[in-house]
Every structure is written in C-alpha cells, then in structure tokens.
C-alpha cells in the first residue's frame, strides 16, 4: 500500500542541541513555515552535559528540557524515537525506517554521532550518551558500589569524578598513559591522573579491556567481570564506556554529499546542495580563526551552528564565524577552552599556581591554534581574539 507523503517547509533530522536551536533559528525569520523535527531519542530535546556533571552533584532533571512550551505551540511536529533512513535529494524527501515519506524544502542534518563500541560485552556495557543511560546508571549505583569506566576521554573523566563524588569505588581503564591525554599537555595530564588517584579513583592507564562477561556465567546478579590485556580481572556492579563517537554521516553519504570525517559544509553551513544543511557534531565546517576545516563535538558549537543553519534555512545569510568554547568539570578542577586542543601540538603554559590555575597555548609554528583556560575564568573573549594569531594571553589579563 502506498503511503501518503507529508510535506514540510523545514525538516530537521536530529533532536540534540543543534536540532533544537535550528528550530529557533528558523523561527527568527520564518514564524509560520511548517517544521518536522526527527529524533532517535524518545524524549524531546534536552541538555546532555549535566548527564555526566551536575545531575550527579544534586542537579535536577527538571532543568534538562530545552523548551518549556510544547512543540505544537511553535508549529513543530516532533517525531520521537524515529530513525530517518533514507534521503532522496532529487525528490526532496526523507524516508523513515517504517517507510513514511516526508517532503522538505530545506533539510538540516544534525545527526551528531554514534558511539564507538567494543567488539564484546554487548549486553554488559553501558555506552553512556543519553538520559536513559543516566537513568540506567543511577539504578546501578543504587544497587552496587563498584564501577569500571572504560575510556579516559571526556565521558570517562567526567563520569569517574561524578561517581567517585557519589562515594562509589571507581576504576578507569584506557589505552593512553594519562587521563585526557589527547587533550591536555603531557605534564598536566599526568598531574590530573595523580589527582584522580588521590581522590580514590583507581586509574589503570595503558591497558585495555579484552572481554566483559557476567560473573558466574549468568547475568542474574548484574555483576560483570572485565578482563584486561594485562591479565588483570576487575569485578564490577556496572561497566560504563565512553570510547568516542563517529559522526553519523550515513544519510549524507548515501545521498552523494561530500563527507570527510563529517558532512562538509561551507561558512553558511550549507552542503554542496543548497537545500541541505548540516550542523553540530556531524558538520565539518570552515573554522574561521584556524583557517581550515574542522569538526567540533561540544555544546556551544552545536547550539550556535544549529541556530545559524536555521536562520539560513529560512532565507538568511548568516556566516558561522564563531570559535566555539568547550568546558569540563573534573572534581574541583575545571576548564574552558577554544580551538584545537590536540596534545600533539607544541604547548606553552603559564601557571599562576602549577596545575591549579593557568593558561596553556597550543601552537602550530608560532600561531596559537588552541587555548586552555585551566581554572582561569572570565577570559574566553580574549582567548577568542588571540586564537589564530601569534599573540599570547598573559596570566593577569593585562
Ligand atoms: P572521547 O573521544 O573524548 O574519548 C574517548 C576515549 O576512549 C579516549 O580516551 C580513547 O583512547 C578511549 N578509548 C578508545 N578505544 C578504547 C578502548 N578500546 N578501550 C578503552 N578506551 C578506549 O569520547 P567520549 O566517549 O569520552 O565522549 C563522547 C563525545 O561526547 C565526544 O564527542 C566528547 O567530546 C563529547 N563530550 C563532551 C564533553 C564536554 O565537552 N565536556 C563531556 C562529555 C562528552 P584513545 O585516545 O587512545 O583512542
């Protein structure tokens, strides 16, 4: 039986920060045009950052939803728990997994990323990304005390701190030599790793899991055994992993759009198809201050790109020239940053107090390509100005 094709002026695929903020951008210039918003999530768009931070420190779930009013009130039809499976650019349609067809005039791909997964332990490992994952981990923490966290990146570092601050026994396992080693300069990453150990987190750096199995061969207890390459075996009441994401570019690839570790867009967040835009974690965009294409997997980028894409979908011509910030909270340590914080770059650090408060410049030649404000607050605007130049921030802001 042929299904009816529904038509919308704007179709947004992805219900994260980028998708939600695209709706806001569209509504700035187009108060009336119909909008369909598709999300794999069963929940309307909400904030994810508190899932690994504030919610473990007394924060309330009530503050998570990104919109107070109903979506219907702003003329948005929400398709939750719905996977868009197919994009036909010639017909200007997308098709969901159940075969329903939706016509668009302008389309935004804000599909974010899919978690990388280990080739074992499928039913034992919680790949932590969503509100439902938070609930699942909460239940686990109510039932048990011992947790293994796989991965020493953002999720691993934040969750290890969060669970330890909730009195849990936490062990972290990752292949690098130190926590956040890809991001922080080596000496700082090593110091942070020592700090985690002081706070009671057992850090098993330079190791990797090779199997995760139910204890006693049965899942009845919920307990797992994590076997490591080194031969060590860890028992846990819960195993959580954050081992990175892959940008979810499948729709773009299938539709023949340019993909290069992300959907390639121009400064207006348009793909080479003028009716298809991309924003957020999935978009590889011209990073103005760095003078090259980049992809950023953090909150502010998703918010601001979503909004810019929305404005442009509604007929605007706004260029995305922001150097987006990102941040993290790790016990009582915290940072804000802009640019490319790859620890492969040469770095120059200025410390007010070593490893407690300072500024790190990440350099390509003499040019600043990233700035880490380590427990140094209120300096983001200056950091954005310096990014891409050969100037440096000073410690005191003078
Ligand atoms: P990250 O890319 O930050 O970190 C992945 C970590 O997993 C790395 O330490 C990596 O090590 C490690 N890893 C890779 N393979 C294995 C393996 N087989 N066994 C053990 N460890 C492994 O990704 P996350 O999953 O932490 O975060 C997911 C996304 O969410 C990212 O886009 C992140 O930016 C975002 N996020 C951002 C936050 C923020 O802005 N504050 C907070 C939380 C999440 P290696 O480098 O050696 O591969």
Report CA(233)–ligand 1 centroid distance (Å): 22
Q: Give pLDDT, residue 319.
A: 98
- Both tokens assigned to 292: 């090259």
Read off the pLDDT of residues 190-229 as tens digits, 9 standing for 90 and up. Answer: 999 999 999 999 999 999 999 999 997 666 568 999 999 9
What does pLDDT average to over the chain?
96
For residues 43-51, average pLDDT: 97
Could you give the C-alpha distances from 20 to 6, 14, 16, 93, 308, in angstroms and in order? 21, 8, 6, 21, 12
Q: Give pLDDT, residue 392.
A: 98
In order of their start, the domains of the chain are 5-114+245-313 (3.50.50.60), 117-241 (3.50.50.60), 332-386 (3.30.390.30)
Q: Give pLDDT, residue 396.
A: 84
- Identify whether the C-beta of residue 204 lies closer than 8 Å to the C-beta of residue 193: no
Q: Which of 282, 325, 361, 297 is nearest to 154 (CA)?
A: 297
The alpha helices in the chain, defined as continuous H runs, are 17-29, 131-143, 154-165, 186-198, 250-254, 299-313, 380-386
242 pocket-lining for ligand 1 (C-beta < 6 Å): yes
For residues 40-64, average pLDDT: 97
Report CA(157)–ligand 1 centroid distance (Å): 9
Q: Give pLDDT, residue 220.
A: 57
Q: How many CB atoms lie within 10 A of CB 277?
A: 29
For residues 69-80, average pLDDT: 95
Report CA(218)–ligand 1 centroid distance (Å): 29
Higher pLDDT, 218 or 139: 139
Q: Give pLDDT, residue 221.
A: 64
Q: Give pLDDT, residue 302.
A: 98
Q: Is the pLDDT of residue 397 over 90?
A: no
- Identify whether the C-beta of residue 118 lies closer than 8 Å to the C-beta of residue 211: no
Q: Give pLDDT, residue 330.
A: 95
Q: Is the pLDDT of residue 368 over 70?
A: yes
Q: Give pLDDT, residue 1.
A: 54
The reported pTM is: 0.96
In degrees, to the nearest 5, what angle opens at C-alpha 12 toward C-alphas 315 and 48?
Answer: 120
Is residue 376 helix, strand or coil?
coil
222 pocket-lining for ligand 1 (C-beta < 6 Å): no
For residues 251-263, average pLDDT: 98
For residues 245-259, average pLDDT: 98
280 pocket-lining for ligand 1 (C-beta < 6 Å): no
Which is it for the CA torsion 313, 314, 319, 323, positive or negative?
negative
208 pocket-lining for ligand 1 (C-beta < 6 Å): yes
For residues 380-384, average pLDDT: 98
Read off the pLDDT of residues 93-133 as tens digits, 9 standing for 90 and up. Answer: 999 999 999 999 999 999 999 999 999 998 999 999 999 99
- Identify whether the C-beta of residue 100 lies closer than 8 Å to the C-beta of residue 6: yes
Q: Cα 228 to chain center, whole Å?
A: 27
248 pocket-lining for ligand 1 (C-beta < 6 Å): no
Closest Cα to atom 16, ligand 1: which residue?
A: 243
Is residue 136 helix, strand or coil?
helix
Range with the lowest mean pLDDT among 208-222, 250-264, 303-317, 358-372?
Answer: 208-222
What is the share, in percent, of the chain residues with pLDDT greater than 90? 96
Higher pLDDT, 215 or 276: 276
Q: Which of 244, 14, 12, 22 is nearest to 114 (CA)?
A: 244
Q: Give pLDDT, residue 398.
A: 57
Q: Give pLDDT, residue 199.
A: 98
Name the DSSP class of 49: G
Read off the pLDDT of residues 284-300 as tens digits, 9 standing for 90 and up. Answer: 999 999 999 999 999 99
Half-sphere exposure of 157 (CA within 13 A, CB side): 26
Q: How far apart are CA 193 and CA 185, in angstroms?
A: 12
Q: Give pLDDT, residue 219.
A: 63
Q: Give pLDDT, residue 216.
A: 73
Q: Give pLDDT, residue 285.
A: 98
């Amino acid at each position: 039986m042929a299904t009816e094709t529904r038509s919308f002026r704007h179709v947004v695929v992805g219900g994260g920060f980028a998708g939600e903020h695209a709706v806001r951008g569209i509504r700035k210039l187009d108060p009336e045009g119909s909008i369909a918003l598709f999300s794999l999530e069963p929940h309307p768009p909400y904030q994810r950052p508190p899932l690994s931070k504030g919610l473990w420190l007394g924060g309330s779930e009530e503050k998570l939803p990104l919109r107070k009013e109903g979506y219907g009130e702003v003329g948005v039809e929400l398709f939750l728990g719905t996977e868009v499976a197919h994009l036909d650019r010639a017909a200007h349609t997308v098709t969901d997994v159940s075969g329903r067809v939706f016509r668009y005039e302008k389309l935004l791909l804000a599909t974010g990323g899919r978690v990388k997964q280990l080739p074992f332990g499928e039913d034992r490992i919680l790949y932590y990304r969503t509100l439902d994952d938070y609930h699942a981990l909460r239940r686990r923490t109510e039932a048990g005390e011992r947790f293994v966290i796989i991965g020493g990146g953002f999720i691993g570092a934040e969750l290890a701190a969060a669970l330890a601050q909730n009195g849990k026994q936490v062990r972290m396992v990752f292949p690098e030599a130190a926590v956040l080693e890809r991001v922080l300069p080596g000496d700082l990453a090593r110091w942070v790793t020592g700090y985690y150990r002081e706070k009671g987190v057992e850090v098993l750096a330079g190791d990797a899991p090779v199997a995760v199995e139910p204890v006693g061969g049965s899942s009845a207890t919920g307990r797992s055994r994590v076997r490591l390459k080194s031969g060590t075996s860890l028992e846990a009441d819960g195993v959580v992993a954050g081992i990175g994401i892959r940008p979810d570019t499948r729709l773009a690839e299938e539709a023949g759009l340019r993909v290069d570790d992300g959907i390639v867009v121009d400064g207006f967040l348009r793909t080479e198809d003028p009716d298809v835009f991309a924003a957020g974690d999935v978009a590889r965009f011209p990073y103005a201050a760095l003078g090259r294409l980049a992809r950023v997997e953090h909150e502010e980028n998703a918010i601001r790109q979503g909004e810019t894409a929305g404005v442009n979908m509604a007929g605007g011509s706004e260029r995305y020239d922001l150097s987006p910030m990102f941040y993290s909270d790790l016990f009582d340590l915290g940072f804000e940053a802009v640019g490319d914080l790859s620890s492969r770059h040469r770095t120059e650090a200025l410390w007010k107090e070593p490893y407690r408060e300072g500024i790190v410049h990440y350099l390509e030649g003499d040019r600043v390509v990233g700035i880490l404000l380590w427990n140094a607050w209120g300096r983001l605007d200056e950091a954005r100005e310096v990014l891409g130049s050969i100037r440096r921030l000073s410690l005191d802001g003078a």
